[in-house]
Amino acid sequence: MSIRARLLWLVAMATIVPALLLGYRFVQERDAQIQAATSRLVNSAEIVARDFDSRIHATGQLLYGLSRARDLQSDNRAACSAFLGRVLDQYPQFTGILTISPEGALFCDSLQTARELDLRDRGYFQQALTLRQGVALQAVFGRLTGLSVLQIAQPARTPAGDLDFILLASLNLRAVVRDDLALVQPNTEILMLDQQGTVLAWNRPGGTEGSIGQSLAGTPLGEFALLARDGQTAELREADGRRQIWASGSNALLAQAGLRVLVGQDRQDLVATADQRLREDLAILATLSLVLGISVWLIGEVAIRREVARISRMASRLGQGDLSVRIPPPHPGGELGGLMAVLNRSAESLQNQQEAISELNRKLLQAQRMEAVGQLTGGLAHDFNNLLTVILGSAELLAERLEHDPDLLQLAETTRDAAERGGELTRSLLAFARRQPLEPRPVDVGQEIQRLELLLRRTLGERVECRFDLTPRLPPALVDPAQLEAALMNLVLNARDAMPEGGRMTLETAFAQIDDDYAARHEEVVAGEYLVVAVTDTGCGMTPEVLAQAFEPFFTTKEFGRGSGLGLSMVYGFVKQSNGHVKIYSEPGHGTTVKLYLPRAAAAGVPRPMNPGRPARLRGGTESVLVVEDDEMVRTHVVGELTLLGYRVLAARNGVTALEILRSEVPIDVLFTDVVMPGGISGPQLAEAALVLRPGLRVLYTSGYTENAVVHHGRLDPGVVLLSKPYRRQELAEKLRYVLRPEG
């Protein structure tokens, strides 16, 4: 079969499918229009029923008002009737308004006929005799006018409760139904029957009326009207063969009056639009099929060759390794279009896999780098912090003994400051590697920032405007307050350095909810509730290249000697180790915002932060302390420090020696042990054995690097008291007194 023949066959098939779709759509539209029209009819029936309800209520209110009128209290029948006549002129929906005496005799008549009528046999009169509130209702045909009316009667009673007279208003049902046509859709008819199936009003499209007074009892329409519930619909065939859809509407007052309200519409009117659209679509389809057949016959082969050439070019570039190539739209229908779509999807899938592999390689390199930094830091931290402990303690002793020699005192203080900076460097590396032991607790972030406000303002200097925008009554965050303070100081220092000519730094707090979608798009983020601390500066900002490396350790854009490159690395490690999230937003020339997302703490009391003040006086003691330290220099140094503080000190170089001392009768109040020790017995193992030998013994750990001995998931084990190396004598004294406190 030739290409042209194949194309013509495809055109024929392509014509059949739209024709079937048109037919399917036609059926769907007809059904949808019928359903929609049925719903509209139900709504219209409810609207008409509500309108009748409101008219009855309004009539009851009118009658209640008239019952208080002095003109109706008069014995002058002519004057009373004249008054009702004036009222009737204002309310044309009524065919008449009259009053009835308690004996059932007509008294006042708005038509002013002066006729005598005995109305005792009327149903509405008998209902009104016993009514205490509300109105009596009865649908009848007027004796004089022959009109279908709804008699609405209301008794007027004296203050003692005796019946004074009965007010009656005759509501013209045909007029009401004509008015209600304005409330419903065009080409809709309204039918009202009484409970015997007699037609009271029937308004049809075009202003015509049905047979008033005709009984529909026994007919399908009558049976539906008498048995239908409110909102029920039915499709009925008329005598002339037309199919009509009816909906029933009702409410309590209509039921009391014995009225049935139906709203109907010819089924053919509902689908006329769909029929017309089908004819138009078929004509358009036939025209398009003819034009398409001729066009395909003339240019089919050229069009096919062009599309095949596009596929060939894409396949060639894919073979060359270019996974970004795509066949741009428009795509033809049929197999060629499907083949193009498959090729595009395949190229996109290969490109996504390549990007995913690159991302996995990046994450693997990052994890390996983190592990390398962690191993390097852990290996250095233990020995380095031991050395710094000795240096720092020795510098403190020298400073105390050289108070009268300013030159040597300055050298001692410089040595002490250098040791402290070395300790900070080690802690920053541990924080970045997420191996810093944390002591998280519920912290009121706003109070913590207010406590640090003066220090932060001094850090920024006078050239930087400082603004604090703290949201009140935020829930507490679960963080280590000391590490939070260090992180805030690092962020404020970075903000200051980014504004050498001055500017504005804003520190804000807020509450945030991270959803699952955001957590899925960001690494190591868990959905939940967070406290947000944002530090914003109006400085130079960061380029995308700098922003990508901002958290890298030792990366800095500052000039040599002005920064270690560990500030943001420490912040990143602290937040991640606290199960939080950190995000940087920056634009060159506009400034930078660093947002810390700190996990919300469970509902609990928040400890009040301690106000910074002058260092407390060194407080020692006379208790007995067993020092267990494998490093001889550190052990000698600690023994000397404790002796200066007044303690009785015993020393052991490892766990085995310490156990021998513990088994003796020597009194020991505190076990002060290093966490990581050689010899097969670690600090926690020694403490466990010591507590068995001496229940109630107080334990204080110290270490330059704890690994996983007393820290799990980055947090100290419950009940563990740790003094991190390097430490000053003040910190050693405070920790010992804390461990030896009576409630400890």
> Under a CB-based contact definition with an 8 Å cutoff, are residues 671 and 698 in contact?
yes
Q: What is the pLDDT of residue 648?
A: 92
**Cα–Cα nearest to 195, from 128, 261, 123, 149:** 261
Mutual angle of helices 481-497 and 445-460, in 10-degree steps: 40
Q: Which parts of 533-599 fold into alpha helices (H)?
A: 544-548, 567-577
Low-confidence ranges of the chain (pLDDT < 70): 1-8, 11, 143-144, 207, 274, 293, 296-305, 363, 366-386, 420-438, 553-555, 557-567, 603-618, 704-719, 743-744
Q: Note the Cα 323 to chain centre separation in Å.
A: 38
- Residues forming a β-bridge with 703: 724
Distance in angstroms (rounded) separating the CA atoms of residues 441 and 133: 69
pTM reported for the whole predicted model: 0.40
> Under a CB-based contact definition with an 8 Å cutoff, are residues 448 and 586 in contact?
no
Distance in angstroms (rounded) separating the CA atoms of residues 339 and 121: 88
Distance in angstroms (rounded) separating the CA atoms of residues 90 and 82: 13
The CATH class of 438-599 is alpha beta
CATH architecture of 624-739: 3-Layer(aba) Sandwich (3.40)
Q: What is the pLDDT of residue 242?
A: 80
CATH number of the domain at 35-281, please?
3.30.450.20
Three-class DSSP labels, 679-741: CCCCHHHHHHHHHHHCCCCEEEEEECCCCCCCEECCEECCCCCEEECCCCHHHHHHHHHHHCC
Enumerate the domain spans of the chain. 35-281, 438-599, 624-739
pLDDT in tens, 40-99: 888 888 988 888 889 889 998 998 888 888 888 778 888 888 898 899 899 988 988 989
**Cα–Cα nearest to 468, from 504, 432, 516, 423:** 504
Q: What is the pLDDT of residue 95?
A: 87
Could you tell me the two tokens for 535?
Answer: 């530090």
Q: What is the pLDDT of residue 493?
A: 86
Please, which residues have CB within 8 angstroms of residue 375's CB and are 6 or more apart in sequence?
A: none
| H or E segment and range at residue 345 | helix 334-401
> Under a CB-based contact definition with an 8 Å cutoff, are residues 586 and 495 in contact?
no
**CATH topology agreement for domains 438-599 and 624-739:** no
**Cα–Cα nearest to 121, from 143, 144, 149:** 143
Concatenate the DSSP letters of all residues of 390-420 into one string: HHHHHHHHHHHHTTT-HHHHHHHHHHHHHHH
- Residues forming a β-bridge with 166: 100, 155
Distance in angstroms (rounded) separating the CA atoms of residues 133 and 456: 77
Count the alpha carbons within 13 Å of 282 in the hemisphere toward its beta carbon.
10
